[in-house]
Chains A and B, each alone.
Chain A
Amino acid sequence: MFASYHTEEGLNGQIYNRCVGTRYCENNCPYKVRRFNWFVPEWPAPLNLQLNPDVTVRGAGVMEKCTFCVQRIQFAELNAKTEDRQLRDGEIVTACQQACPTRAITFGDSNDPASAMMRRRDDNKLRNYRALEELNTKPAITYLRDLYREKGKA
């Protein structure tokens, strides 16, 4: 059904309303980042106020995952389109990026070597890595390794 597929933008998309819940995607996910709605979700007041109006309401029997805040991506893309221009670097800010107090997360276009994300990645060539890269899943996330000095070494 293509509920779960790689979009043209390289996003590992999950389209909830196409999902029938075979849960095959979670079996195949080496990172096990997907989460399944085991029950009909309930939001007793006042928790219902925290629901994001930009995001589809979840239902039972559907697999979910992080989509890099696809609603924010769409919003920024539509803005750029109405203003008839290219997307600017840094225009899309994911929720985790926005909330992170240490600014550890950068989001950007990996096809543009000048983007803040690519610059940050390339400036740290010695300490960047991707999780489970050896599986050839070509993940979009690059992590930067913590730097420390081992005892007894220069």
Chain B
Amino acid sequence: MAAAPKINTEPSYRDIDRSVLRVMEPAGRAYWAWIGFCFTLVAIAGGFWARQIYSGLGVTGLRQPVMWAIYITNFVFWVGIAHSGTLISAILFLFRTKWRTAVYRAAETMTIFAVATAGLFPLIHLGRVWFFYWLLPYPNQRYLQPDFRSPLVWDAFAVSTYLTISALFWTMGLIPDIANAREAATGWRKTFYTVLAMGWQGTDRQWRHYSMAYLLMAGLATPLVLSVHSVVSWDFAMAINPGWHSTIFAPYFVAGAIFSGVAMVITLLIPMRRLLGIEDLLTEWHFDNLAKVVLLTSLVVSYAYITEAFMTWYAGDPIEQMTFHMRYFGPWGWMYWVMVSCNCVIPLLLFSPRIRVNLRALWVITIFVNIGMWFERFVIIAGSLTANFEPSQWSSYRPSLTEIMITVGSFAWFLGLFSLFSRFLPIISMTELKEGIVWLRKAVKRDRVRAAA
């Protein structure tokens, strides 16, 4: 990759195009080594899955009565990660937020691949995955139909709708940008982008329908994103289990999802900005605002933890109280306190404006948030299952190699897909950045002033 041409403090439309399109030039050996590494891990995880299908779920660490553990934790974790993308691309679009333009494409891409990762786990965890299509409602010769009273069926509808709608929304945003790439590309890439751009030329007729549809898609995606994690949370809240059966779950999970998702956006963007040489488009201003979202949702999540504890104490149900006592002080208590430190305490550092723009510190904090949010789901899902109503049925759980490798594989799958995307399609929306160029100029100027001081 050529050295990044320095943008002056007044970046023009052309500067934006150049910076973004330069990222899409052919990649070096290190990049392909990384891609190869990721997909090797995916292949290994695939092997473990094949073995699990062949010999049965006994190869996992799951034992009576812990029926759900790491797989469902990963599912909820990845669906949660997905949420920030739609928050940034749809909800903040409706709010006309200025700083979203530079980060939304990366966040939305993350959404697509995170949902694609999450969607694998309900399949991986099935006892008889070869019959998964029984969950689809279509006329069939078995005369069997899914039970629409089951939250798992709602989940299937919510997650597949989410994947489809975010993919469409993402594709729509990409079309004008790919048309730009088409103009700059040569060789097979030119053919590739010409096909993908589908003949976009930016005529007034095209923009007129495009803008309206984009607005409406954002309007549809907004309630959708809130509904998806609510539905996921109902998988638990609709069950009678102490530790799950709670009305606070939907907003609690949505806040947690946005919290972990925005943290993941920051985790990905900070190294990406350096590696792809787009420091001039992703300024401190953008990270400052993202960090504020993390801080806000961290406070909401902390509030939910406190409410949960209060409700348990106030309701006076001894079994519920026992479950929470186990959660806080039981054998897995350390996980709870890891979670509280990562999700409630460490993000408080973001109250400092200096830490919000210190990218190294910010990166470390968001890694902690990711760890904390993974543990949150694990504590809720597996933790609540180890001990509840019948003391004779209490047990514990230890993940097996299969589960660990499939989890690692899911991270590799996500990172591999994201890395592939980042070099082949515009990772920053040129169109939207141009629309908000005034704000970008201000941010770049501010960065320069700070750097000079």
State yes or no: do A and B touch (Cβ within 8 Å): yes
Partner-B contacts on A (CB < 8 A): 1-2, 5, 18-24, 26-28, 30-32, 35-40, 59-63, 132, 135, 137
Cβ distance B442 to chain A, nearest Cβ, rounded Å: 52
Report A-chain residues with C-beta under 8 Å of the C-beta of B65.
26, 32
**B146 near A20: Cβ-Cβ < 8 Å:** no
The reply to whether the CB of B13 lies closer than 8 angstroms to some CB of chain A is: no
Task: Say whether A40 contacts B127, CB under 8 Å.
Answer: no
Q: How far is the CB of B74 from chain A (nearest CB, A)?
A: 15
Name the A residues within 8 Å of B147 (CB-CB): 1-2, 5
Q: Which of B134, B385, B388 is within 8 Å of A20, CB to CB?
A: B134
List the 6 shortest-distance A-B pairs measured between CB atoms, nearest first. Answer: A21-B127, A61-B127, A38-B58, A23-B67, A32-B393, A60-B56
- Contact residue among A2, A26, A30, A137 (Cβ-Cβ distance under 8 Å from B390): A30
Judged by a CB distance under 8 angstroms, whether B241 is at the interface is yes
Q: Is B389 an interface residue (CB 8 A)?
A: yes
Q: Are A19 and B68 in contact (CB under 8 A)?
A: no
Bound-state Cα–Cα, A37 to B56, Å: 8
By a CB distance below 8 angstroms, the chain B residues around A135 are 240, 389
Give Cα A24 to B67, complex, Å. 8
B152 touches A21 (CB 8 A): no
**Shortest Cβ gap from B225 to chain A (Å):** 24
Residues of B within 8 A of A61 (CB): 56-57, 126-129
How far apart are A6's CB and chain B's nearest CB, in angstroms? Answer: 12
Chain B residues 117 to 134 lying within 8 A of chain A, measured CB to CB, are 122, 125-129, 131-132, 134
Bound state CA distance, A61 and B388, in angstroms?
24
SS of B interface (majority): loop
Which residues of A have CB within 8 Å of B203?
none
Q: Apart from A23-B127, A40-B55, what are 13 other A-B pairs with CB-CB below 8 Å? A: A1-B135, A1-B144, A5-B147, A22-B125, A22-B127, A24-B152, A27-B239, A28-B240, A32-B389, A59-B128, A61-B126, A62-B127, A132-B389
Q: How far is the CA of A32 from the CA of B393 in the complex (A)?
A: 7
Please determine whether B135 and A60 come into contact, CB atoms closer than 8 angstroms: no
The answer for the CA separation of A29 and B65 in the assembled complex, in Å, is: 10
Instruction: Let me know if B127 and A28 touch, CB within 8 A.
Output: no
Near A by CB (< 8 A), chain B positions 133-164 give 134-135, 144, 146-147, 150, 152
Contact across chains for A24 and B240 when beta carbons are under 8 A apart = no
With a cutoff of 8 Å between Cβ atoms, the chain B residues found around residue A21 in the complex are 57, 126-128
Residues A40 and B56 in contact, CB atoms below 8 Å apart: yes
Question: Quick one: CB contact mask for B32-75 with A, threshold 8 Å, 1 for yes?
Answer: 00000000000000000000000111100010110110000000
Known: A30-B388, A38-B57. A20 touches B127 (CB 8 A): yes
Task: Report the Cα distance A30→B239, complex, angstroms.
Answer: 10
Q: Which residue of B lies closest to A21 (CB)?
A: B127
Q: A31-B389, A39-B55 are in contact. Are A62 and B128 (CB under 8 A)?
A: yes
B127–A32 CB distance below 8 A: no
Whether B135 contacts A36 by the Cβ 8 Å rule is no
- Identity of the chain A residue whose Cβ is nearest the Cβ of B146 in the assembled complex: A1
Please indicate the chain B residues that have their CB under 8 angstroms from the CB of A38 in the complex. Answer: 56-58, 62
A60 to B235, CA, bound (A): 24
Are B68's CB and A23's CB within 8 A? yes
Chain B, 342-390, CB within 8 A of any chain A CB: 385, 388-390
Contacts of B62 in A (CB 8 A): 38
A143–B389 alpha-carbon span in the complex (Å): 17
